[in-house]
Amino acid sequence: MQNFNFYNPTRIVFGADTIAALSDLVPPTARVLILFGGASAEKTGTLTEVRKALGQRAVQEFGGIEPNPSFETLMRAVAQVRSEKIDFLLAVGGGSVIDGTKFVAAAAHHQGDPWDIMLTGGASVSGALPFGTVLTLPATGSEMNNGSVITHKASHTKLPFSSAHVYPQFSVLDPTKTYTLPVKQVANGVVDAFVHIVEQYLTYPVQALPQDRFAEGLLQTLVEIAPQVLAEPTDYASRSNLMWTATLALNGLIGAGVPQDWATHMIGHELTALYDIDHARTLAIVLPALLHVQRDSKRAKLLQYGQRVWGISSGSDDARIDAAIAATRTFFESVGIPTRLSAYGLGAQAINDVLAQLEAHGMTALGEHGDVNLARSRTILETAL
């Protein structure tokens, strides 16, 4: 096990009918800005519930945070925070709204150009407004971590930042709030969580036994619940398991003390920034190809993954690895997510464009060994054609 430092102060209030708890969770004298995305937050009644729970507090709203939240949009929220002397933010939505809220929280306190937050990966953040979240879309884990990904639309640049100052104070996770989600978004959530887990697990062994077991348990859970999650939107058992699993997938726990490989995310970000493909779908394209290309350095963990998650225990090592990668691809396809660039209408030219962006963003030594250079990324993308 590698040395690690684990800290996560976010309170999770989990279960049906928990939005009312906001009345206790948000400071009674707060000047609150509710941040949300599209019209669904209103249509589903979630915003009404939130407003009711906030009672007599001074509340303003900022809607229109888009998927892959943009710097341009969020800076309008920052202006509102400053002019209206907002002192507490409440994100109501999925990962995009929460990521955006983290940026607003940090930018509101930032001296100078807030894009510096992204260029420094969060190192320049010295404080942030306190905030909480009401999660409506299980997927990214942003509700219980200190990371955020923001897109600069003008330059097609999608970058991550993290800071100890942007842990949510609390997150309310009510699984019934997922009942009205489009199936496509739920499928994206399953894949996003799955890939988060894999990126903290499928590297090389470091004798971190509980971390491995936890990661495998979360993957097994996703595999077990996926059919029910998609087929029966109002099934509380599967929706609650998806919601908590997606949170646990990226709250720092399974990644503490182990090597990590975020190459799939970094390559995927460029596909989203260039072609507006849903985040989770870019991961489904890249991951199986990456596992194939990196099979030698990931050999021991690929065999363990095949055995423990998919029950693959016979055949040569290479045959078992092939089967494990095939099972991964089949799982993504089974929830309706294509895993080939060609299925999204992309070909050789796209690969050149993605590589140019990776180079422009300094993404030239990715992976747990830093060996995913531009040539390796090209091979991965060619494998994904």
For its own copies, the binding residues (CB under 8 A) are 1-16, 18, 207-210, 212-214, 216-218, 220-221, 224-225, 237, 240-241, 244-245, 248, 253, 256-257
The residue length of the chain stands at 385
Nearest to 245 by CA among 170, 194, 180: 194
* Cα separation, 208 vs 2, whole angstroms: 8
Smaller CB separation from its own copies, 139 or 248: 248
User: Strands 31-36, 88-93: parallel, antiparallel or unpaired by DSSP?
Assistant: parallel
Do residues 62 and 101 make contact, with C-beta atoms less than 8 angstroms apart?
no
* C-alpha dihedral, 254 to 257 to 258 to 261, nearest 10°: 80
* C-alpha dihedral, 251 to 254 to 259 to 264, nearest 10°: -60
* Cα separation, 381 vs 383, whole angstroms: 5
* Cα separation, 331 vs 302, whole angstroms: 16
Helix (H) or strand (E) holding 231: helix 209-231
Do residues 202 and 305 make contact, with C-beta atoms less than 8 angstroms apart?
yes
**What are the C-alpha distances in Å from 242 to residues 58, 195, 318?**
34, 14, 32
Classify residue 28 as exposed, middle or buried by CB count within 10 Å of its CB (0-12, 13-18, 19+).
Answer: exposed
Beta bridge partners of 151: 70, 158
Give, as one character, the DSSP assignment of residue 66. P
